[in-house]
């Protein structure tokens, strides 16, 4: 595979973007930062699929496409199946000799938001992973159904307010904890699973390249800060993501072959989750005295998870 | 049309307002709603800079979202260290970099989010936000000087 | 290179095996499938070909019918021949993606073994699933027996992949009565069958990297209507292509298919219009009525359910002697007259003969429909014809236990 140099940003910036402007994503949206970076990680041809969601409705609205590569969208739930169908066709046609250019290198990539990955497309994703297709699935995790105005998904963290799990006089927002998609995907025996963040561009690029290079079904969960539904100023997307990774709300790590865990980023100064929560409107209500226990719970969950990740890494099992 | 931040690009860049395209009849729409990224064939966009590509009218490159912008980033070449932070984090493919050098801003596709300014590490910053109405030369003329670190 | 399958001039195959052989001979690039009764043996049969070197393409066993059709759409957009099989609940689960396949103009072939839809759950054959697909934008062909379950998929690839059509095609056969009933089938040699179907010609394929394409774009109020109109026109315009492919198939095999099959309609006074495996029973019944009672009975059987053959149904009905017709719907009508009744009536309204048309619901959940019942219904049509108006309820139920059930009476006298 033709991987591009990610030695430093100057080298990286010599890549020719294949994701075009005048898409309809919100100003400051992290989705396109992540998509651009993925596409800049390789010179190979790409066949990309997207589930219905912010990315899809913003990049392929007739008569415009923002994609300079092959791209397909079918439904909300089936991007993994669409791209693995194309991958199966590639294998068949390569065997039969009907490809126009059988030597052209190609990678198959699916994008889904957390709604389509954690919830409605979960079965399709699981099936595609189990079948062992050679593809990479990237979840753009903004922790809610942002495309439809911010409803709760199973990726929404406890305590966040969304339109269908609202904070109010009798509620502190979502009551349930976020689904651990990374563990679930690792449990599929995938050769490469990771959680990455765009503020750490280099570890993200490394992870993307590993996934693209690894044969078999790979899964990457990326934190995609949502200026609209997390309620922060569009200019602060990277700043908020810094708070997410430095508070360990979003630890950056990879799991190889379903078991070998490596932590990819250790904050020099781990910040309190309060600093992360306090920077976003969706958690504002947690700072009321009656909801303080939720913040304590989130912090305690983070601490436990970080401890677990470190032990897993140390154990090398 | 907004002012041009950089001359690098094709004459197709940002020529149409979204929704401003000709509304053809049923007999002329694309079969199967298929959109081509480029006219004719291409040797692969990964190996071509934007200005070397033959963009199809269906490519959003040919559209502009400049009207979304209320504030805009202005770029000061004199201070820039070409770190490419703005390039890697721009969500709108609107930082024009060529051969490791930052050349300017694609004002046809920039939505004015301000991320580039936030991630700019120089002191003073090489990118600053101004109101859309501000003249770029005026903005550059009044550029702030280096901030001293507070003791 | 796929092995050649050793075939006799005449084989004893059931409809499922016949369909699976046709799929094998078309040398499909990707089959993405999920098993469901009664179409499972199509998938199993294909799996056996894969396991034994008779297929060069990919066989992807997915985790649901929705994924089966999703995989088919992704594969078809990547520029190759694609097919799958399903029935009933699986068909219903696929429904979302059926519309996407046709809207994206991807010529997938879906062999549907017709089965009732729950609730209550039922594995037997009726046409509920076929009817569910009628607005999905697919071409729908109907096989009445095992031979046709073999012949029509071969035609389906050639029709759907025609560059003037580029639409997905369903080939229906009735669950159990056709799918599991062994009959004599005359197959083509592998090479002859493949040459008839021809090589797949990719259109806007995702694997031509010199021409990147976006599939599945969104259209809102400025564009959606034009796209749907264009798609509808393609479906309507597939009629002459279907006729042409059937003509070529006749030339190759001597077996003749028409978008609307008619039997003894030249001088018919009464007729039944029906689909599927019941057609053969009805034809026998009509022959017996002619011989035994001198009733001039005929049968009209749409071979092509979509695009609805308004033209040929009208031709079939525009017989000066024709007085009364019953449309037989093998699907729970859900608070309306049967779909076949409604569509045939609309076609008949613009004929000069304007026969009396009534509606029977029959055969739901695999309820038997025998020759005697077909004769009884045609005799009832004769009574309508003699009276000059419909003497019963317009909608009735055939083979139903309990008090007589019927709805609406005619206002024609």
Query: How confident is the model over C336-341, as a mean pLDDT?
Result: 98
Residue C91 burial (C-beta neighbours within 10 Å; 0-12, 13-18, 19+): buried
Q: Which residues of C touch A90 (CB under 8 A)?
A: 78, 207
Q: Mutation test of the interface with chain A: which of C28, C70, C99, choosing the one with the most A Cβ atoms within 10 A?
A: C70
Distance from CA of B71 to the nearest CA of A (A): 11
- Judge whether C149 lies within some domain: yes
Are B26 and C216 within 8 A, CB to CB?
no
Identify the CATH number of the domain in which residue C305 sits: 3.40.50.920
Q: Is C85:C34 a contact under the CB 8 Å cutoff?
A: no
Cα-based angle C379, C382, C387 (whole degrees, multiple of 5): 135
Predicted confidence at residue B1, as pLDDT, reads 36
Taking each helix axis as running N to C, give the angle between helix C224-236 and helix C88-103, from 0 to 180 degrees, rounded to the nearest 10: 110
Q: Which pLDDT score is estimated for B6?
A: 66
Is there a domain that residue C237 lies in? yes
What is the pLDDT at residue A3?
Answer: 86
Picking from A31, A27, A21, the residue whose alpha carbon sits closest to that of residue A225 is A31
Residues C231, C347 within the same domain: no
ipTM surpassing 0.95:
yes
Neighbouring C-beta atoms of residue C195, cutoff 10 Å: 12
Q: Name residues 120-149 of chain C within 8 A of B (Cβ).
A: none
**Could you say which residues of chain A have pLDDT below 50?**
none
Q: How far apart are the first and last CA of chain A?
A: 29
Interface test with C, best of A73, A79, A88 (most C CBs within 10 A): A88
Residue B36 covered by a domain: yes
- Give the pairing of strands C183-185 and C11-13: antiparallel
Task: Identify the CATH number of the domain in which residue B87 sits.
Answer: 3.30.70.20
- Is B85 an interface residue toward A (CB < 8 Å)? yes
Contacts of A91 in chain C (CB under 8 A): 58
Decide if B44 touches A, using CB distance below 8 A: yes
CA distance B77 to chain A (A): 16
Same structural domain, C189 and C289: no
**Does B59 reside within a domain?**
yes
Q: What's the farthest any 2 CA atoms get from each other in chain C?
A: 70
| Domain at C40, CATH number | 3.40.50.970
pLDDT at C37: 97
Residue B6 lies in a domain: no
Residue C2: inside a domain: no
Q: How far apart are CA A240 and CA A237, in angstroms?
A: 5
Measured between beta carbons, the chain A residues lying within 8 angstroms of B112 are 27
pTM, entire model? 0.97
How far C74 CA sits from the closest chain A CA (Å)? 4
Q: Are B66 and B107 in contact (CB under 8 A)?
A: yes
Instruction: Enumerate the β-bridge partners of residue B64.
Output: B17
Contacting residues of C for B35, CB less than 8 Å apart: 213-214, 217
Asked if residue C87 and residue C208 are part of one domain, the reply reads yes
Rg for chain C, CA atoms, rounded: 21
Token pair of A238, please? 């990277």
* Domains, chain A: 9-315 (3.40.50.970)
Interface contact flag, B114 A233, Cβ < 8 Å:
yes
Distance, in Å, from the CA atom of A204 to the CA atom of A200, rounded to the nearest integer, reads 6
Task: For chain B, state the CA radius of gyration.
Answer: 18
Residues C255-290: tens digit of each pLDDT? 999 999 999 999 999 999 999 999 999 999 999 999
Cβ-defined contact of B26 to C233 (cutoff 8 Å):
yes
Mean pLDDT, rounded, for C128-153? 98
Q: Packing angle between helix A30-40 and helix A237-246, nearest 10 degrees?
A: 80
Find, in chain C, the residue whose alpha carbon is nearest to that of B35. Answer: C214
d(CA A64, CA A71): 13
Does residue B146 lie in a domain region? no
SS3 C147: helix
**How would DSSP label each residue in chain B?**
-PPPS-S-S-TTTT-EETT-S----TTTSPGGG-EESBSS--S-GGGS-GGGS-B-TTBGGGEE-GGG-SEEEEE-TTT-----HHHHH-TTS-EEEETTEEEEE-TTT-----HHHHH--SSS-SEEEEETTS-HHHHHHTPPPPPPPP-
Is the same domain home to C306 and C332?
Answer: yes
Place of tokens 């003249």: B135
What is the structure's pLDDT at B5? 59
Give the integer Cα–Cα distance in Å for C143 and C304.
9
C94/C182 same-domain check: yes
Only one residue has tokens 């929560």, namely A277
Q: Which two tokens stand for residue B92?
A: 């709108």
Residues 126-155, chain A, touching C (beta carbon < 8 A): 126-127, 130-131
CB contact under 8 A, B87 and A9: yes
The tally of domains found in chain C comes to 2
**Which residues, numbered 61 to 100 in chain B, qualify as contacts with chain C under a Cβ-Cβ cut-off of 8 Å?**
none
Determine, yes or no, domain membership for B2: no
% of chain C with per-residue pLDDT over 90:
99
How big is chain B, counted in residues?
151
Domain limit, last residue, from C227, C253, C279? C253
Name the nearest CA neighbour of B93 among C259, A59, C48, C389.
Answer: A59
Q: How many domains does chain B have?
A: 1
> Which whole number is the average pLDDT over C330-334?
96
Q: Of C67, C100, C210, which has the smallest distance from its Cβ to A124's Cβ?
A: C67
Q: Say if residue C43 is in the same domain as residue C192.
A: yes
Give the domain extent around B32: 16-141
The whole-angstrom separation of Cα A268 and Cα A256 is: 25
Return the closest-CA partner of residue A291 out of A106, A160, A155, A135. Answer: A160
Q: Which chains touch C (3 or more CB pairs under 8 A)?
A: A, B
**C194 and C221 share one domain:** yes
Cβ–Cβ under 8 Å, residues A162 and A150 = yes
* Residue C329 domain boundaries: 260-407
Judge whether C5 lies within some domain. no
Give the C window 15-74 contacts with A, CB below 8 Å. 29-30, 32, 56-58, 60-64, 66-67, 70-74
Picking from C220, C238, C253, the residue at the C-terminal end of a domain is C253
Please choose, from the candidates A104, A82, A102, the residue with its C-alpha nearest in 3D space to the C-alpha of residue A94: A102
Residue C413: band (very low, low, confident or very high) from pLDDT cuts 50, 70, 90: confident
Residues C274 and C395 in one domain: yes
Question: Which residues from chain C sit within 8 angstroms of residue B41, using beta carbons?
Answer: 210-211
Coil, strand or helix: which one is C183? strand
Asked if C213 is an interface residue toward chain B (Cβ–Cβ < 8 A), one would say: yes
The yes-or-no verdict on residue B3 having pLDDT over 60 is no
Residues C373 and C355 in one domain: yes
- C339 and C303 belong to one structural domain: yes
Interface probe for A, chosen from C27, C68, C74 (most Cβ of A below 10 Å), is C74
Inform me whether the pLDDT recorded for B150 exceeds 70: no
Asked if residue C235 is part of any domain, the answer here is: yes
Which member of C74, C207, C218 has the closest CB to residue A84?
C74
pLDDT for position B151: 58
The answer to whether the bond into C38 is cis (omega within 30° of 0) is: yes
Q: CA–CA separation, C149 vs C185, rounded Å? A: 9
Mutate to test the interface with B, among A7, A10, A19, A21 (most CBs of B within 10 A): A21
Q: What sign does the dihedral A70-B64-A53-A278 (CA atoms) show?
A: positive
Judge if C176 and C276 occupy the same domain: no
- Is residue B151 one of the residues assigned to a domain? no
Q: Can you list the positions of beta strands (E) in C274-318?
A: 297-302, 304-306
Q: Report the gap between the CA of A109 and the closest CA in chain C (Å).
A: 12
Residue B146 has pLDDT above 90, yes or no: no
The number of beta carbons lying within 10 Å of the beta carbon of residue C160 is 29
Q: Domain for residue B91, yes or no? A: yes
Quick check: helix, strand or coil at residue C63?
coil
Beta carbons of A85 and C78 less than 8 Å apart: yes
Instruction: Identify the domain boundary among C206, C231, C253.
Output: C253
Per-residue pLDDT, C64: 98
The verdict on C147 and C243 lying in the same domain is yes
**DSSP one-letter string for chain A:** --BPP-SSHHHHTTS---B-S---PPTT-HHHHHHHHHHHTB-SEEEEEE-SSHHHHHH-BTT-B-BSSEEEE--SS-HHHHHHHHHHHHHHHHHHT--SSTT--EEEEEEEEHIIIIIITHHHHHHHHHHT-SEEEEEEE-SSBGGGT-B--TTSPTT--BTTB-EETTEES--SPPP-HHHHHHTTT-SEEEEE-TTSHHHHHHHHHHHHHSSSEEEEEEE---IIIII--GGGHHHHHHHHHHTTSS--EEEETTTEEEE----SSPPPHHHHHHTSGGGGGGGSGGGHHHHHHHHHHHHHHHHHHHHHHHHT-
Whether residues A64 and B60 touch (CB distance < 8 A) is answered with yes
Provide the pLDDT for residue B2. Answer: 40
Establish if B68 belongs to a structural domain: yes
Q: Are A194 and A212 in contact (CB under 8 A)?
A: no
């Amino acid at each position: 595979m033709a991987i591009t140099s990610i030695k430093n940003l100057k080298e990286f910036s010599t890549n020719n973007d294949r994701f075009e402007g005048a898409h309809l994503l919100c100003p400051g949206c992290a989705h396109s930062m992540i998509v651009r970076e993925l596409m800049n990680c390789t010179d190979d041809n790409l066949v990309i699929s997207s589930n219905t969601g912010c990315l899809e409705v913003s990049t392929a609205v007739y008569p415009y496409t923002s994609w300079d590569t092959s791209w397909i969208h079918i439904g909300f739930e089936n991007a993994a199946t669409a791209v693995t169908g194309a991958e199966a066709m590639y294998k068949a046609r390569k065997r039969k000799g009907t490809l126009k250019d059988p030597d052209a290198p190609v990678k198959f990539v699916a994008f889904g938001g957390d709604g389509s990955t954690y919830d409605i497309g979960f079965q399709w994703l699981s099936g595609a992973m189990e079948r062992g297709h050679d593809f990479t699935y990237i979840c753009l995790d903004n922790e809610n159904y942002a495309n439809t105005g911010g409803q709760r998904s199973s990726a929404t963290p406890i305590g966040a307010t969304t339109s269908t799990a609202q904070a109010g006089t009798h509620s502190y927002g979502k009551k349930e904890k976020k689904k651990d998609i990374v563990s679930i995907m690792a449990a599929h025996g995938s050769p490469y699973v990771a959680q990455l963040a765009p503020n750490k561009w280099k570890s993200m690029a490394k992870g993307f390249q590993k996934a693209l290079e690894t044969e078999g079904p790979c899964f990457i969960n990326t934190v995609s800060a949502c200026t609209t539904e997390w309620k922060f100023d569009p200019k602060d997307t990277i700043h908020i993501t810094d708070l997410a990774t430095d508070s360990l709300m979003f630890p950056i790590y990879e799991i190889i072959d379903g078991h070998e865990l490596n932590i990819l980023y250790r904050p020099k100064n781990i910040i309190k989750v309060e600093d992360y929560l306090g920077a976003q409107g969706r958690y504002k209500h947690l700072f009321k005295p009656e909801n303080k226990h939720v913040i304590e719970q989130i912090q305690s969950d983070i601490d436990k998870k970080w401890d677990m990740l470190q032990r897993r890494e140390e154990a090398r099992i | 049309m907004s002012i041009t931040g950089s001359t690098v690009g094709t004459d197709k860049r940002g020529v149409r307002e979204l929704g401003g395209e000709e509304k053809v009849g049923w007999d002329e729409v694309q079969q199967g709603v298929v959109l081509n990224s480029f006219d004719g064939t291409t040797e692969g966009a990964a190996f071509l800079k934007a200005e070397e590509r033959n963009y199809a009218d269906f490519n959003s490159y040919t559209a502009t979202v400049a009207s979304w912008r209320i504030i805009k980033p202005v770029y000061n070449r004199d201070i820039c260290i070409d770190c490419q932070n703005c390039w890697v984090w721009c969500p709108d493919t609107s930082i024009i970099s060529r051969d490791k050098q930052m050349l300017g801003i694609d004002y046809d596709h920039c939505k004015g989010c301000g991320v580039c300014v936030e991630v700019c590490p120089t002191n003073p910053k090489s990118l600053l936000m101004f109101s859309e109405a501000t003249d770029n030369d005026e903005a550059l003329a009044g550029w702030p000087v280096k901030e001293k670190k507070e003791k | 290179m796929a092995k050649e399958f050793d075939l006799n001039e005449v084989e004893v195959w059931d409809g499922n095996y016949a369909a699976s052989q046709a799929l094998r001979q078309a040398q499909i690039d990707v089959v993405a499938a999920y098993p469901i009764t009664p179409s499972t043996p199509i998938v199993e049969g294909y799996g056996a070909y894969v396991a034994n070197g008779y297929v060069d393409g990919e066989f992807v066993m997915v985790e649901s019918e929705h994924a089966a059709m999703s995989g088919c759409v992704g594969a078809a957009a990547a520029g190759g021949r694609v097919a799958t099989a399903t029935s009933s609940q699986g068909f219903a689960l696929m429904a979302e993606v059926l519309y996407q396949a046709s809207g994206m103009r991807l010529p997938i072939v879906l062999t549907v073994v017709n089965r009732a839809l729950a609730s209550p759950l039922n594995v037997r054959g009726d046409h509920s699933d076929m009817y569910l697909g009628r607005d999905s934008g697919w071409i729908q062909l109907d096989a009445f027996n095992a031979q046709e379950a073999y012949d029509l998929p071969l035609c389906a690839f050639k029709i759907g992949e025609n560059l003037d059509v580029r639409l997905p095609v369903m080939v229906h056969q009735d669950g159990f009565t056709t799918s599991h009933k062994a009959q004599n089938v005359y197959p083509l040699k592998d090479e002859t069958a493949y040459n008839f179907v021809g090589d797949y010609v990719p259109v806007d394929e995702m694997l031509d990297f010199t021409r990147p394409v976006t599939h599945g774009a969104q259209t809102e109020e400025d564009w959606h209507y034009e796209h749907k109109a264009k798609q509808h026109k393609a479906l309507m315009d597939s009629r002459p292509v279907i006729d042409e492919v059937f003509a070529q198939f006749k030339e190759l095999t001597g077996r003749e298919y028409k978008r609307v099959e008619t039997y003894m309609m030249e001088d018919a006074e009464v007729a039944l219009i029906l689909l599927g495996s019941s057609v053969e029973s009805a034809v026998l019944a009509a022959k017996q009525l002619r011989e035994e009672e001198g009733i001039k009975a005929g049968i009209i059987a749409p071979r092509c359910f979509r695009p609805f053959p308004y033209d040929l149904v009208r031709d079939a009905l525009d017989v000066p002697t024709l007085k009364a017709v019953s449309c037989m719907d093998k699907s729970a009508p859900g608070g309306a007259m049967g779909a076949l009744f409604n569509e045939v009536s609309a076609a008949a309204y613009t004929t000069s003969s304007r026969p009396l048309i009534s509606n029977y619901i029959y055969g739901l959940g695999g309820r038997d429909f025998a020759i005697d019942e077909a004769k009884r219904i045609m005799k009832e049509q004769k009574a309508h014809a003699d009276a000059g108006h419909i003497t019963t309820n317009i909608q009735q139920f055939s083979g139903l236990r309990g008090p007589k059930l019927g709805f609406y009476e005619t206002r024609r006298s």
